[in-house]
Amino acid sequence: MNTRIGIIADTHDYFDPQIPALFQDVDLILHAGDVGARTILHQLSTLAPVCAVRGNIDEDGACAHLPQSLSCNVDRLTLYMTHIFTPPTANASGDSPRGGQIVIFGHSHQQFLAEREGVLYFNPASAGRKRFKEARSLGLLEIRDGHPEAHHLDLR
């Protein structure tokens, strides 16, 4: 079984015109918060089913109804998603993956991809308008026969 999941975060009410081509043929889209407006979720839903969590800019307003975090099973793997998350590093432990074998998060606007103790941690970075020096990007998570692989898709 193969599943392709589009990963996006920190759109801040901006739908980049490159998104439809980059998320072509995905089975699911996960938005890791700081959506900004329901129109973003609607536009994404024309491409594939969407699951989203709220970020710190979504606490009030149109996206306040979104959950702070969610867990779901995809191809027998448990996925945990939240907006603000500190992944573990070689020198320090991070936040709990809450049973997830894959952890998706946003907030920092920085690309992150690491596997630690059997857990894949992934931050797609920001898909919104450029705000900091960090690269703008999306992510693609592919699960092939129960094995997850993620990579970043640059937005230029």
**Do the Cβ atoms of 29 and 5 come closer than 8 Å?**
yes
Please say whether the structural domain 2-154 has been given the CATH code 3.60.21.10. Answer: yes
Q: What are phi and psi of 51, to 5 degrees?
A: -120, 140
Percent of the chain clearing pLDDT 70 (strictly above):
99
pLDDT digits (tens, 9 = 90+) for 29-80: 999 999 999 999 999 999 999 999 999 999 999 999 999 999 999 999 999 9
- For residues 83, 24, 4, 49, the Cα torsion angle rounded to the nearest 10 degrees is 60
Percent of the chain clearing pLDDT 90 (strictly above):
90
Q: For position 41, what pLDDT does the model report?
A: 98
Q: Where are the domains of the chain?
A: 2-154
pLDDT digits (tens, 9 = 90+) for 132-152: 788 899 999 999 999 999 999
For residues 130 and 155, the model is more confident at 155
Q: For position 11, what pLDDT does the model report?
A: 98
The rounded distance, in Å, linking the Cα atoms of 150 and 156 is 19
Radius of gyration of the chain (CA): 14
Q: For position 130, what pLDDT does the model report?
A: 86
Q: Is the pLDDT of residue 1 over 80?
A: no
Smallest CA-to-CA distance from 6 within 154, 155, 150 is with 150
Long-range contacts of 112-120, Cβ-Cβ distance < 8 Å, separation of 24 or more = 112/87, 113/150, 113/151, 113/152, 114/87, 116/87, 116/88, 117/88, 120/148, 120/150
Sheet arrangement for strand 28-31 = 50-52, 28-31, 2-8, 137-144, 147-154
